[in-house]
Amino acid sequence: DPVRHNRIVFHPHGGPWLVRDVLEGSREHNVELSWHFAADVDVNPIAGGHEAMPRCEDGATLSGVAVSVLSAAEGSGEDKLETSSLSPAYGNHVPAKVVRRRMRARLPIEIASVISPKEVREAEAFSSLGNDTDSMRAYQYVFGNMTHLFFFARPDAKWSYGPWSSDAAVLYCRQLEGRIAHLVCIAGSFVSYAGRDLLRNVGPLARFEWRRRGDAGETYVANELPVEHSLDREIELDSVF
């Protein structure tokens, strides 16, 4: 049974990295995903994943700086912390930590991971929101009072999930205290929330991005054409999700 692996990486400005590993096939396979860390990093389990913190030259952990790696996967399996090695120079091997997820699963299957650098310790959680159709996936990452929503769909296909509707291949929304702070639409012509148009264009946009700056907003459109949107007027919603 041939297997095709696709990796999709999405990183909004000022947000976390979302990595989707999609394995396409039709039978059961052994699946393994590994995250390798530098030798001078301490890695410890946290709820939903692991946290990496750099060490100082005296061996003490550098406080206030960390990177968390959280996973959401279809099927069974959990991340395990192991000791491996890396080679910083030819002929030199040093011990280093690696986080591995192993499972036996029937393909197709998808594993999503969020990588989030942080300077403050806040409660965080990453989860799959499920899917209404086989062509759409949705994920949510919550960090403190900030919520990140990620939607991935087939191009040129209309979809709906909860209060959201769009035809975008990728839709990202960052919510801060009940207000939309950042919206990215890739390969889509409209975005609606609870029946209200946030964005609408006559044709698909290669990329539309809006970010809140104080009480105003900053808009970027890849093809530099005027686009109708209500984000400057309608940035506060009852609940983004």
C-alpha–C-alpha distance, residues 133 and 34, integer Å = 28
E-state strands within 131-193: 136-143, 146-153, 159-161, 164-166, 170-176, 179-193
Distance CA 110, CA 174 (A): 23
The average confidence (pLDDT) of the chain is: 87
Cα→Cα distances 226→42, 49, 74, 189, Å: 49, 42, 40, 13
Query: pTM here?
Result: 0.88
Between 40 and 133, the higher pLDDT residue? 40
DSSP 61: B
* CA–CA–CA angle 112, 114, 118 (5° rounding): 175
pLDDT bracket for residue 134 (50, 70, 90):
low
- 96, 86 in Cβ contact below 8 A? yes
Answer for the pair 189, 204: CB distance below 8 angstroms, yes or no: yes
Q: Is the dihedral of CA 150, 151, 156, 158 positive or negative?
A: negative
Q: How does pLDDT run across 87-105, given as a tens digit for each residue?
A: 989 999 999 999 999 999 9
Cα distances (Å, whole numbers) of residue 197 to 51, 175, 178, 227, 231 = 39, 17, 18, 12, 9
